[in-house]
Amino acid sequence: MSATIIGACGLTCSQCEAFVATQAGDAAEIEGIAAKWTRLYGMPIPAAGVWCDGCMTAGERKCGHTHECDVRACVVERGLANCAACADYGCQKLEAFLAMAADSGARETLESLRA
């Protein structure tokens, strides 16, 4: 059984299709995910932007959006594992993300980590 990897925002990276395909080294699956996400999000997403080892890992492979993520930048700046460990939990940045990703389970993950 592999370890559960939680992103800065509470997304469970280890359950993400991009993370799973990256860990498997499955280039064909990565290409398929890039095509799927391009259709889903209505913008070009290259395969290079799909390879990901998790936003909070030391590895170089991080999903394309990782470098633009305000939530992750804040967590890294504060030296935290994720938002659940933050004294300002529930801040505007986090709440904006959680509203956008309401069906992702991220809020529930963070709440369980805080409990």
Please give the model's pTM, rounded to 2 decimal places.
Answer: 0.84
Name the average pLDDT for the chain. Answer: 92
Q: Could you tell me the CA-to-CA distances from 59 to 51, 56, 62 in Å, in that order?
A: 11, 9, 8
Q: Could you tell me the CA-to-CA distances from 79 to 25, 94, 108 in Å, in that order?
A: 29, 16, 22
- In this structure, the dihedral spanned by the alpha carbons of residues 71, 48, 5 and 110, taken in order and rounded to 10 degrees, is 30
pLDDT tens sequence across 14-32: 999 999 999 999 999 999 9
Give the domain ranges of the chain: 13-114
pLDDT tens sequence across 93-113: 999 999 988 889 999 999 999
Whether the per-residue pLDDT at 2 is higher than 70: the answer is no
